[in-house]
Amino acid sequence: MQRKIFFFILCLATALAFVACGEKTPTPEAEGPPREQAAAPTPIDQSTVGSITGKVSFQGAKPKPARIMMDQDPVCVQKHGGQAVFAEDGMVNDNGTLPNVFVYIKSGAEKYTFATPSTPAELDQDGCMYKPHVLGVMVGQTLSILTKDPTTHNIHPMPKDNREWNMSQAPNAAPLEQKFSRPEIMIPVKCNQHPWMKAYIGVTKNPFYAVTGRDGTFTITGLPPGDYTIEAWTATFGTQEQKVTVGPKESKTLDFTFKGA
């Protein structure tokens, strides 16, 4: 009889262990070695380069800012000291322009090869929000992910052309370092712990990109003379593109206007 009971307990323990082990836990999945651009950077005559600067405006009824409720993690609420927090998607600046627009060279720069920047791009987590909300990184460039929050985050980019991964980052943990091996516009990033956390990463093969800020302007510098297609990407209002010819040492102005409902 005793033997039977022992056997029963053993079975139960084994079953429980199996269930526990079978549970899916987020595992850090390192990105494979980046496909570094093998070719040497194309020499560009810096005395002839030009620039594009412009403003991204918004026309129509301003969408009502969406309030974020962080109640499921009191640590996040505390960090904002009771202040209301609003989603950055769909936000319009006070001066009627759009922030967080990713403006980049969609075509025209393919004939050049660019060095991978040795300085990492940074994505911070502060107050359970990604900062910046929209950022660019070059193929093979290190993206350093930092946290200032006393709570655990789980960073989860959801690419179409790159490898998907998700990694947990505990309070005071060292920065996580990742690279993307293929160009992709844009990679949405979520946090598996805090469903309101969102960021977007643009991965490019050239350094000609910019993100609009609180004044809605952007500047792209160092452009070799040539014909380009420029795209302005927004998370909420779609994308727009324009063709532009940049002459030697020319400073071009290029404005975009997105319309609301």
Least CB distance from residue 68 to Cu ion, whole Å? 12
- Which residue, 105 or 189, is less far from Cu ion as judged by CB? 189
Residues 4-33 that bind Cu ion (CB under 5 A): none
Residue nearer to Cu ion on the CB measure, 139 or 191: 191
The DSSP symbol for 97 reads B
The number of residues that bind Cu ion (CB under 5 A) is 5
Q: Are 198 and 68 in contact (CB under 8 A)?
A: no
Give dist(CA 14, CA 236) in Å, integer: 50
- The answer to the question of residue 68 lying near Cu ion (CB under 5 A) is no
193 binds Cu ion (CB under 5 A): yes
Rounded-to-integer distance, Cα 35 and Cα 243, Å: 30
Task: Write the binding mask 146 to 175 for Cu ion: x where contact by CB under 5 A, - elsewhere.
Answer: -------x----------------------
Query: Which residue's CB is nearer to Cu ion, number 55 or number 153?
Result: 153
* In the complex, minimum distance from the CB of residue 193 to Cu ion, in angstroms, rounded to a whole number: 4
In terms of Cβ atoms closer than 10 Å to its own Cβ (0-12, 13-18, 19+), residue 2 is: exposed
Shortest distance in whole angstroms from residue 119 CB to Cu ion: 25
The residue (of 97 and 151) whose beta carbon lies closer to Cu ion is: 151
- The pairing of beta strand 134-138 with beta strand 198-204: parallel
Q: Is 106 in the site for Cu ion (CB under 5 A)?
A: no
Integer Cα distance of 178 and 162 in angstroms: 12
If one asks whether residue 194 binds Cu ion (CB under 5 A), the answer comes out as yes
Which residue stretches of the chain are H helix?
2-22, 74-79
Give the torsion sign (CA, 194, 175, 160, 141).
Answer: positive
> Distance between CA 259 and CA 251 in Å, rounded?
27
Among 191, 230, 232, 244, binds Cu ion (CB under 5 A): 191
Q: Does 189 bind Cu ion (CB under 5 A)?
A: no
d(CA 113, CA 32): 22
Based on CB atoms, which residue is closest to Cu ion, 161 or 164?
Answer: 164
Contacts to Cu ion by CB under 5 A: 153, 191, 193-194, 197
